[in-house]
Structure 1
Amino acid sequence: MSYCCGASMIGFIGSFRKQSIMVHKVPLLYCPVCHDVQVHPAVKEEFELVVEYAREDRVREVTLRDTITPEMIDEWKEYGISFQDSEDIEPILREQIDHSLDLLRVSKVLNDKEWGEELKNRLRVLTDQLKKLDKQKEESK
């Protein structure tokens, strides 16, 4: 599982730029709190090879995978990461909040105040994002 800001990151498929080369259809990890984005560990080596070949061929844009199957997404989910495979982020935010609450309980049992504060901050940010999303849904009705 990939962690950032005290809890897990969200997986999704997107585009990622490295060494002035834009790579599309890349499984990525995203932190909803600090907005850090990383290439998913399951495809990191493949991603690096594609970037290297593109640089050698002087290509500015490439696609990592022509097709992404549900089996691939299931495999990437095995890393224990929430994976956003639709436009609706609300279930992911709720899952992240639940996960953070579980970890907050663990931090209290371990008496780890620093981790607990990181988790509380993460919960504040996730809750604010959920409120904004709810507000947007209300306004669009």
Structure 2
Amino acid sequence: MCNENQLSQICRCGGEMTIHIHTLIYKAKVKIAGVPVFMCRSCFHYEPHPAVKRDLSLVIQELGSEPQRNSFSFAERNEWASVLNDTFTMFKDEEGDLEQVVQEAMGDRIDLLLDLFQIAAAAADPEWTGEIESRLLKLICHTASKVS
């Protein structure tokens, strides 16, 4: 799972798929905003990024067959989606290497979470430290292969 940091891939049609932040509609009722997806520039096929498929599946299971909510942000449920969403919002009109900007944003978020982890540990709050640890692990997987 830790090698799922790519921002592009090849589609089944042979075209290039690039990452986008997309709003998915579930059961024609629920808008799930802020989902990282790959979209093909040739055939317009799209699919959720491998790094978020598990969390997206869990969200869909929680919604059930008769969802009560009508919209929510996936970026609030997935740390990597949150970093991408924030990065894409700032990156829209800028020139530069998107991959580098995303990696820098992930490094900044990891630094922030490490600071919060120290505060939570000093407060002896095991629930808070557990939550932060979980969030850190999801981001560290996306940066591990870039460090080596």
Instruction: Report the TM-score when normalising by structure 2.
Output: 0.43
Instruction: Report the TM-score when normalising by structure 1.
Output: 0.45
Say which one has the larger Rg: 1
Q: Per chain length, whose mean CA-contact separation is higher, i.e. which structure has more relative contact order (CA < 8 Å, sep 6+)?
A: 1
